Amino acid sequence: MTGKKYCTVLIAGKPNVGKSTLFNKLIDKKLSATSNKANTTKGFFYAYKTGKNQQIQYIDTPGYNNTRVTQLIQQVCVVFIVTTPERWVEIDAKFAAICQEYKTPTILVVNKVDNLREWSSLETWSQEIVERYKFKDVIYVSAKQGHHLKLLERSLQRYMLDTEVIIPDLAYTLEQRVREIITEKLFRTLHQEIPHNLRVDVQVIDDTIWGFITFYKASHKKILLGKGGRTIALLTYLCQQDISTLLKVKLDFKIHLKSSL
């Protein structure tokens, strides 16, 4: 026995419930893109939170409709099913039933409670769900404000497993981080106009970081450029700000639009 512990946590939930915001807050880094638009997170993100003699691996997911998510249920120590007050729908129920079938400990995380005024009905609603789907616990949080996240972390202690080693924090590549910054700014800049099938690639050439955005329709180019090129200029500026904050130095950043017509 080394006294060292680890735990793997899968963060799941329907779109736009704050999974990626919760993920970023729990690891104290901004690795996963966030916005008010559904389906911002396109892939899986893995990150470690390392403390004294313990380590937690958090996995951010793109939603329920992915076979990899179902596979991971069987591999992790705990599943967080994230929802918002009194918004439990059929797809949540189906996923909770799968977790119950695999006997994976599952915690109901009710997010976005910072502006909630009526607690009694929420507690009644959540307790019914907890009992029906055999959740191990229910934690009410505000990921955006960082409220009750310590309570959420403490709830994991009973599921920690013994380990011989603590893995060094994963070194996410610069390209991965910049790709997520560009994706987030696309959602925030274009709002409802953004085409879902844009592709974002990143290359570092000499002292310049290039973001290549591939579009698949002529109309997409017009949306990305904006009137007089204002949209692409704003997007470049916002990305530059976040990249400079990430790197602690100012590197040249440029965006190139690529056609796949």
pLDDT tens for each residue of 130-165: 999 999 999 999 999 999 999 999 999 999 988 766
21-39 average pLDDT score: 65
pTM more than 0.75: no
**Residue 38 and residue 66 in one domain:** yes
CATH number at residue 109: 3.40.50.300
Write out the residue range of the structural domain in which residue 246 sits.
Answer: 174-259
My answer on whether 148 and 223 are in the same domain is: no
pLDDT, tens digit (0-9, with 9 covering 90-100), for 70-127: 888 988 999 999 999 888 999 999 999 999 999 999 999 999 998 777 788 888 999 9
CA distances from 56 to 6, 74, 232, 248 (A): 6, 17, 39, 27
Of 138, 163, 188, which one is at a domain's C-terminal end? 163
d(CA 132, CA 240): 48
Q: How far apart are CA 177 and CA 45, in angstroms?
A: 11
Residue ending a domain, among 136, 163, 190, is 163
Same domain? 236 vs 213: yes
Rama region for 108: left / alpha / beta (φ>0; ψ in -120 to 50; rest)? beta
Q: Check if the beta carbon of residue 225 is closer than 8 Å to that of residue 232.
A: yes
155 and 42, same domain (yes or no)? yes
| Overall number of domains in the chain | 2
